[in-house]
């Protein structure tokens, strides 16, 4: 009996590859994601239902749609949530499930796209931005533009504000001229 | 309403709540969020009623007003994401199934408030009362550590008083404050030099030619030729002499100023908290101290004097040129607007290309530092060619950035040279005609040409100066960026000095994270009594080391308090904490120097006897004595390499030398064999009798002397008590113990 308990403690769920064959993601009643997981390869195993799962990106910057880890939430009793499985490529799933997962992922890696930059004012060494983003109008403050504009090889730019929030410009050349001019000197 | 978020400036929100039958005096506390539940920017409010029965939610975007019964919401928690956070809770439906719902969301901007809100909610459900002066509100009255002003915007801690930066150049000049005499000398010398160079052409042209050489001149005698040539010669000598004085004064001043700047940057850097060093690469920081200060120095030595002298010359020349012949002068200045426009257009580009140049040079330095430090790993995986290639890549990038910057400069120059050349030809033509028409004398034309030759000097200088100045401003603003960085952890103005601690450590509802998206410690509370020998066990990443870091105040808690001897550690001077608490961590750093120096680092005035005693206690004495140079063996980068265990023992000796009131061993003996570990354990026990010791360990054998065991799991203290009690409880400690014992037995029996 005691040995059993001990084994349970160190037993981890075995993470599986999640495909449309074994996994169905649905919107939960609370607006989050539920997962129904079957085990076609092991028919003796029962179908599992997770009321809420958390998708996480393995490569959030370069490959946001590949290698998505799907996990149970952390709980008081069980501690850190275990990984249920990995989606190798989001595109394997149907459109509806893709949208569902993508919206939850975008929420997690909340990085609004800057569509318009209305003004950038420098005051006492801090930059005050007034912007229109993909998530609505917002303003934010940045210091040390030298370190907080991060550009990538593919021309993408990340902007980090003083709270640790992140904004992105996926293609600076597509910004309107006036917006681009306001940030040009920091690039 | 408690002072978390109030309706003070939100009359319209108060009105909405009133409409829904919730007047302001019915609300216990409220929290304003900046994201809607759909993840868009927008205003939402959460409020808990005074009787602790209801949670209200109002969304300004959708105008929706929801009411939840608090007792229906189970286990509310914050889901931390990278840049946003959500409050989630379980709610039971009619069939008794639990479902997760989203109650609110915010960006990292209101995260502190969200944490406070959840903490208060938790207390409400436990039936505890929260008062207006509760400690939790203190974090929203944060003051600037530099000047003590309360931040006007608590979400964004910007101190407008301190941040008031003068222009970068003005601020650079403020460094000259202590060198007024030298500065004045340099200025006077510069003015004199400029005046002399302006007088020269008048004597050689209008005086020597028009008055002496010209047959019609009033002083047409040979001796006057000698006199005025003599004067010219004297002026040249005088100029040389002034130049020497000026250079001496300048050299004295600028070297001091640069030294002071380097000192300032280094001091500012060393004051910054550990988190700053985690975020910035070493290469970048080294570049900042060296390259940037040198850039600024060269600006002082070459740039500033040249700027002043050229500026003065330019103004003087312009005046003289206009006086001698304004018509010709208009021709001279004709190309100036073109030059100015060119600069206006090119300057931002130039600026950017220099900034890029710096970034590339700093990433190359970073890469260099990285590879050289990791030389062992590079060799172990035979990656030398790849590393060389990587370096070539960085070098090439640097090369292309520098090429790019130069190309812009090269493009500007020939155009300017051409413009200047054309102007000179034009002046010869027009001037010649004017002399022939007797509108001006030949002497005047000579003087004019003398001046003209001089005016292109400053013009040329100004055109190169722009690149010196852009470079300097770039360097200087990065330097000031460092100087202005406010350390996250600072002493309170009324911080107390403590010579000695009794050694009681209390964690009171402490939460901590390095990164908001991954909480490390979740609201933990425990007490370590004076003289306790506490062993902390738990999985990797469970938060054990963080507890150690918080006791020494390497980081401040996100919420909650750490108390030593009943006093919040934020009220002690940091120096007092570090003098009385010694920590030996997993990360060992030996400075370049002798072993004795390294042990003595914690207490520079320690006697040799004390050093040996500490080394003995750390079981390091024997191996040190076997080294050819004993305690004087050089260690640190580039010197004799010691094994991991030996290095750990030196760092333990370093900590023991301090005779600390509280000793924290954070996996300090992990790299040692069991026998050595046992010996050290015993020695430490003797040394720290009556002191508080906290030992973080994976191996339970390390903890055999502990009278209290604390098991940490997932950022929470799951068990705490004497080893005996915990074995009885059969909890995590028991499991870990049985597991390690089992493994041991398996090894022993060979299964």
Among residues of chain B, what percentage have pLDDT more than 90?
6
- Are residue B304 and residue B420 in the same domain, yes or no? yes
Average pLDDT for A132-159:
85
Tokens of A154: 């593919």
Q: Using alpha carbons, select from B400, B82, B395 the residue that is nearest to residue A158.
A: B82
Question: What are the tokens at B565?
Answer: 């001897």
- The answer to whether the CB of B553 falls within 8 A of the CB of B510 is no
A171, A98: one domain: no
Q: What is the DSSP string of B193-227?
A: HHHHHHHHHIIIIIIIIIIIISTTSTT--HHHHHH
Partners of residue B348 in chain A, C-beta under 8 Å: 184-185
pLDDT confidence of B719, banded at 50, 70, 90?
confident
Q: Which residue of A has its CA nearest to B520?
A: A80
Which residue, among B170, B387, B323, B199, has the nearest Cα to B208 in the 3D structure? B199
Q: Are residues A94 and A9 in the same domain?
A: yes
Residue B325 has pLDDT above 50, yes or no: yes
| E strand spans, B578-713 | 581-584, 593-594, 634-635, 662-666, 692-696, 708-713
Do B174 and B129 belong together in one domain? Answer: no
CA pair distance B444, B449, nearest whole angstrom? 8
Residue of higher predicted confidence among B728 and B473: B728
Q: Mean pLDDT check: name the lowest of B128-137, B350-359, B580-589.
A: B350-359
> Are the beta carbons of B107 and A28 separated by less than 8 Å?
no
Q: Which two tokens stand for residue B593?
A: 């120097």
Residue B23, classified by CB atoms within 10 Å of its CB into exposed (0-12), middle (13-18) or buried (19+), is exposed
* Residue B571, in any domain of the structure: yes
Residue A35 confidence class, pLDDT cut points 50, 70, 90: very high
Do residue A9 and residue B735 have CB atoms under 8 angstroms apart?
yes
Instruction: Give yes or no: residues A52 and A30 share one domain.
Output: yes
Q: Do B197 and B83 belong together in one domain?
A: no
Mean pLDDT of chain B: 81
Q: Cα dihedral sign for B14, B16, B17, B21?
A: positive
Q: Give the angle B562-B565-B570 at the CA atoms, nearest 5°.
A: 40
Check whether B426 has a pLDDT greater than 60.
yes
Question: For residue B54, what pLDDT band results from cuts at 50, 70 and 90?
Answer: very high
- Contact flag A110-B37 (C-beta cutoff 8 Å): no
CATH number at residue B90: 2.30.29.30
CA distance A164 to A146: 15
Same domain? B41 vs B183: no
Q: State the pTM of this model.
A: 0.62
Report, as an integer, the average pLDDT of B633-653: 80
Question: pLDDT class for B8, splitting at 50, 70, 90?
Answer: confident
Residue B593 or B344, more confident:
B593
Give the model's pLDDT for residue B281: 66
DSSP H or E run through A84: strand A83-89
B673 burial type by CB count under 10 A (0-12 exposed, 13-18 middle, 19+ buried): exposed
Do residues B184 and B284 both lie within one domain?
yes
Q: Which residue is closest to B730 within chain A, CA to CA?
A: A2
Residue B587 within a domain: yes
Q: Are B371 and B402 in contact (CB under 8 A)?
A: no
Confirm if B434 and B440 have CB atoms less than 8 A apart.
yes
Structural domain includes residue B616: yes
Which residues 6+ apart lie within 8 Å of B738 measured at CB? A6
- Pairing mode, if any, of strands A33-37 and A126-133? unpaired
Give the position of tokens 């030099």.
B193
Asked if residues A108 and B81 have their Cβ atoms less than 8 Å apart, the reply is: yes
Q: Which of B126-135, B459-468, B543-552 has the highest mean pLDDT?
A: B543-552
- Same domain (yes/no): A80, A129: no
Among the ranges B411-420, B521-530, B736-745, which has the highest mean pLDDT value?
A: B521-530
Asked if pLDDT for residue B53 goes beyond 50, the answer is yes
Q: Where are the beta strands (DSSP E) in B581-697?
A: 581-584, 593-594, 634-635, 662-666, 692-696
Element (H, E) at B530: none
pLDDT at A4 over 50: no
Number of domains in chain B: 3
| A141 in the same domain as A63 | no
Which residue, among B59, B64, B82, B485, would best test binding to A if mutated, counting the most A CBs under 10 Å from its CB? B82
> Which tokens hold the place of B214?
């010209």
Same domain, B641 and B694: yes
Q: How many CB atoms neighbour CB A117 within 10 A?
A: 22
**A27, two tokens:** 């919107």
* Residue-wise burial string across A93-114, b where 16 or more C-beta atoms lie within 10 A, e elsewhere: beeebbebbeebbbbbbbbbeb
Structure confidence at residue A11 (pLDDT): 56
Q: Same domain for B133 and B188?
A: no
Of all residues in chain A, the one with the smallest CA distance to B351 is: A185
Give the model's pLDDT for residue B677: 77
ipTM of this predicted structure: 0.85
Q: Give the burial class of B602: count Cβ atoms within 10 A of its Cβ; 0-12 exposed, 13-18 middle, 19 or more buried.
A: buried
More confident residue, B751 or B179: B179
Place of tokens 């969304």: B59
d(CA B74, CA B71): 7
Q: Does B325 fall in a domain?
A: yes
Distance CA B163, CA B554 (A): 25
Would the pLDDT of B400 be above 70?
yes
Q: Is residue B188 part of a domain?
A: yes
* B657: confidence class by pLDDT, cuts 50, 70, 90: confident
Chain A residues touching residue B102 (CB < 8 angstroms): 30-32
pLDDT at A125: 64
Position B295 pLDDT exceeds 90 = no
Answer with the one of A93, A108, A123 that is the final residue of a domain: A108
Rounded distance between C-alpha atoms, residue A155 and residue A166, angstroms: 16
Residues B172 and B247 placed together within one structural domain of the fold = yes
Q: Residue A170: which domain range?
A: 114-184
Reference A103, options B64, B108, B84, B517; nearest CA is B84
- Do A103 and A136 lie in one domain? The reply is no
Whether B592 and B534 map to the same domain: the answer is: yes
Read off the pLDDT of residues B173-232 as tens digits, 9 standing for 90 and up.
Answer: 777 777 888 888 888 888 888 888 888 888 877 787 778 887 877 878 888 888 888 988
Measured between CA atoms, the residue of chain B closest to residue A109 is B82
CATH code of the domain covering residue B666: 3.40.50.300
pLDDT at site B463: 64
- Going by C-alpha positions, the residue among B364, B390, B366 that lies closest to residue B378 is B390
Query: Which of A160-169, B511-520, B603-612 is predicted with the least confidence, judged by mean pLDDT?
Result: B511-520
A120 and A179 belong to one structural domain: yes
Percent of chain B whose predicted confidence (pLDDT) is above 70: 90
Neighbouring residues of B308: CB distance < 8 A, sequence distance ≥ 6: B187, B190
To the nearest whole angstrom, how far is the Cα of A100 from the nearest Cα of chain B?
13
Shortest Cα distance, chain A CAs vs residue B748, angstroms: 19
Phi-psi region of A156 (alpha: psi -120 to 50; beta: other; left: phi over 0): beta
Residue B495 lies in a domain: no
Confidence of residue A5 (pLDDT cuts 50, 70, 90): very low
| Phi, psi dihedral angles at B557 (to 5 degrees) | -65, 155
Indicate if A91 and A45 belong to the same structural domain: yes
User: In terms of Cα–Cα distance, which of B359, B455, B459, B355 is closest to B408?
Assistant: B355
pLDDT(A6) > 50: no
Cα distance from A143 to chain B (closest Cα, Å)? 9
Burial B385-423, CB ≥16 within 10 A → b, else e = eebeeeeeebeebbeebbeebeebeeebeeebeebbeeb
* Distance of alpha carbon B242 from alpha carbon B188, whole angstroms: 9
Q: Tell if the CB–CB gap between A146 and B83 is shorter than 8 Å.
A: no
Whether the per-residue pLDDT at A12 is higher than 70: the answer is: no
Whether residue B576 sits in one domain with residue B612: yes
- Residue B150, classed as helix, strand or coil, is strand
Query: What is the CB-side half-sphere exposure of residue B187 using CA atoms within 13 A?
Result: 7
Q: Give the whole-angstrom CA distance, residue B228 versus residue B670.
A: 88
CB B24 within 8 A of CB B81: no
8 A C-beta contact, residue B494 and residue B185: no
| pLDDT recorded at residue B162 | 60
Contact between residue B365 and residue B398 where contact means Cβ atoms under 8 Å apart: no
Q: Could you tell me if A88 and A152 lie in one domain?
A: no
B41 vs A112: CB contact, 8 Å cut-off? yes
Do A101 and A147 belong together in one domain?
no
Can you give the length of chain A in residues? 187
B589 near B669, Cβ under 8 Å? Answer: no
B231 inside domain = yes
CB B168 within 8 A of CB B480: yes
**β-sheet bridge partners, residue B713:** B716
* Nearest C-alpha neighbor of A127 from the set A186, A39, A63, A54: A186
Range of the domain at B377: 168-484
When CB atoms are compared, the residue of A146, A162, A164 closest to B481 is: A146
Contacts of A141 in chain B (CB under 8 A): 156, 158
Least Cα separation, residue B88 to chain A (angstroms): 10
**Which residues in chain A are closer than 8 Å to B738, comparing Cβ atoms?**
6
Cβ distance of B42 and A106 shorter than 8 Å: no
Number of domains into which chain A is organized: 2
Phi, psi of A25 (to 5 degrees): -100, 135
The predicted-structure confidence for A97-125, as pLDDT tens digits, reads as follows: 999 999 999 888 889 999 999 999 877 66
Shared domain for A6 and A72, answered yes or no, is: yes
Q: Average of pLDDT values for A40-48? A: 84
Are B653 and B614 contacting, i.e. CB atoms less than 8 angstroms apart? yes
Does the pLDDT at position B143 exceed 70?
no
Per-residue confidence (pLDDT) for residue B479, from 0 to 100: 75
- Residue B116: pLDDT band (50, 70, 90) is confident
**Is residue B345, in this structure, part of any structural domain at all?**
yes
Residues A81 and A18 reside in one and the same domain? yes
Least confident of B140-144, B166-170, B342-346, B443-447: B166-170
Do B298 and B418 lie in one domain? The reply is: yes
- Looking at the fold, whether B238 and B382 belong to one and the same domain comes out as yes
């Amino acid at each position: 009996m005691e040995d059993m308990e001990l084994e349970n403690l160190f037993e981890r769920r075995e993470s599986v590859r999640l495909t449309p064959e074994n996994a169905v993601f649905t919107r939960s009643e609370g607006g989050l994601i539920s997962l129904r997981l079957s085990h076609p390869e092991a028919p003796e195993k029962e179908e599992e239902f997770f009321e809420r799962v958390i998708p996480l990106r393995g490569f959030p910057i370069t490959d946001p749609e590949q290698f998505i880890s799907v996990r149970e939430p952390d709980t008081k009793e069980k501690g850190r949530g275990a990984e249920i499985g990995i989606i190798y490529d989001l595109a394997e799933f149907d459109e509806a499930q893709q949208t569902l997962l993508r919206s939850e992922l975008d929420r997690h890696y909340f990085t609004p796209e800057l569509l318009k930059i209305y003004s950038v004012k420098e005051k006492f060494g801090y930059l005050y931005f007034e912007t229109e983003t993909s998530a609505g109008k917002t303003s934010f403050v940045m210091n040390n533009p030298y370190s907080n504009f991060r550009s990538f090889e593919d021309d993408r730019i990340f902007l980090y504000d003083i709270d640790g929030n992140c904004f992105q410009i996926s293609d600076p050349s597509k910004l309107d001229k006036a917006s681009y001019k306001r940030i040009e000197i920091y690039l | 309403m408690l002072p978390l978020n109030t309706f003070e400036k939100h009359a319209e929100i108060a009105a909405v709540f009133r409409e829904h039958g919730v007047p302001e005096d019915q609300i216990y506390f409220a929290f304003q969020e900046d994201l809607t539940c759909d993840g868009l920017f927008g205003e939402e409010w959460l409020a808990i009623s005074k009787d602790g029965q209801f949670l209200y939610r109002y969304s300004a975007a959708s105008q929706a007003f929801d009411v939840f019964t608090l007792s229906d919401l189970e286990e509310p928690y914050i889901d931390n994401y990278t840049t946003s956070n959500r409050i989630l809770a379980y709610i039971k439906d009619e069939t008794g199934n639990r479902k997760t719902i989203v109650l609110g969301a915010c960006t990292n901007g209101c995260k502190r408030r969200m944490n406070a809100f959840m903490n208060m909610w938790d207390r409400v459900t436990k039936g505890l009362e929260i008062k207006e002066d509760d400690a939790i509100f203190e974090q929203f009255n944060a003051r600037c550590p530099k000047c003590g002003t309360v931040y006007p915007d608590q979400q964004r801690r910007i101190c407008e008083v301190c941040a008031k930066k003068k222009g970068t150049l003005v601020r650079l000049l403020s460094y000259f404050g202590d060198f007024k005499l030298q500065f004045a000398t340099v200025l006077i010398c510069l003015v004199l030099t400029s005046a002399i160079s302006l007088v020269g052409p008048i004597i050689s042209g209008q005086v020597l030619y028009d008055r002496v050489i010209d047959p019609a001149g009033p002083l047409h005698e040979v001796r006057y030729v000698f006199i005025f040539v003599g004067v010219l010669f004297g002026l040249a000598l005088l100029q040389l002499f002034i130049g020497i004085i000026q250079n001496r004064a300048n050299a004295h001043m600028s070297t001091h100023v640069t030294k002071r700047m380097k000192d300032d940057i280094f001091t500012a850097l060393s004051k910054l908290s550990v988190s700053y060093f985690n975020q910035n690469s070493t290469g970048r920081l080294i570049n900042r101290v060296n390259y940037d200060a040198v850039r600024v120095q060269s600006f002082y030595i070459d740039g500033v004097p040249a700027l002043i002298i050229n500026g003065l010359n330019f103004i003087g020349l312009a005046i003289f040129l206009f006086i001698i012949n304004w018509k010709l002068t208009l021709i001279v200045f004709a190309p100036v607007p073109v030059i100015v426009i060119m600069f206006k257009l090119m300057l931002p580009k130039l600026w950017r290309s220099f900034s890029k140049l710096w970034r590339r040079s700093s990433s190359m330095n970073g890469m260099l530092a990285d590879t050289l430090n990791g030389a062992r790993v590079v060799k172990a995986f035979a990656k030398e060619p790849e590393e060389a290639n990587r370096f070539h890549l960085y070098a090439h990038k640097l090369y292309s950035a520098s090429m790019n910057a130069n190309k812009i400069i090269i493009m500007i120059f020939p155009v300017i040279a051409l413009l200047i050349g054309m102007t000179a030809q034009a002046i010869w033509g027009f001037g010649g005609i004017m002399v022939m028409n007797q509108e001006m004398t030949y002497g005047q034309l000579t003087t004019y040409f003398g001046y003209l030759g001089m005016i292109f000097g400053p013009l040329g200088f100004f055109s190169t100066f722009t690149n010196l100045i852009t470079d300097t401003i770039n360097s200087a603003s990065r330097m000031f960026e460092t100087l202005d960085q406010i350390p996250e952890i600072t002493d309170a103005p009324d911080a107390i000095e403590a010579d000695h601690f009794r050694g009681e450590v209390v964690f009171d509802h402490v939460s901590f994270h390095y990164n908001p998206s991954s909480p490390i410690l979740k609201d933990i509370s425990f007490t370590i009594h004076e003289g306790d020998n506490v062993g902390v066990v738990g999985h990797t990443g469970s938060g054990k080391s963080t507890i150690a870091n918080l006791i020494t105040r390497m980081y401040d808690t996100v919420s909650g308090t750490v108390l030593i001897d009943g006093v919040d550690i934020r009220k002690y001077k940091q120096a007092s904490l570090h003098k009385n608490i010694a920590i030996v961590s997993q990360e060992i750093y030996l400075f370049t120097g002798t072993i004795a120096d390294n042990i003595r680092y914690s207490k520079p005035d320690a006697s040799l006897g004390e050093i040996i005693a500490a080394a003995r206690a750390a079981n390091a004495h024997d191996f040190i004595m076997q080294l050819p140079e004993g305690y004087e063996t050089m260690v640190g980068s580039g010197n004799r390499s010691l094994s991991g265990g030996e290095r750990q023992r030196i760092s333990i000796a370093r900590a023991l030398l301090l005779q600390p009131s509280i000793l924290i061993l954070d996996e300090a003996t992990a790299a040692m064999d069991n026998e050595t570990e046992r010996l050290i354990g015993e020695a430490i026990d003797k040394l720290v009798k009556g002191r508080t010791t906290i030992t973080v360990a994976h191996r339970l054998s390390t903890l055999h002397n502990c009278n209290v065991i604390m098991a940490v799991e997932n950022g929470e203290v799951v068990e705490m008590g004497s080893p005996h009690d915990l074995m009885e409880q059969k909890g995590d400690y028991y499991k870990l113990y049985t597991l390690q014992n089992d493994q041991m037995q398996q090894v022993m029996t060979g299964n």
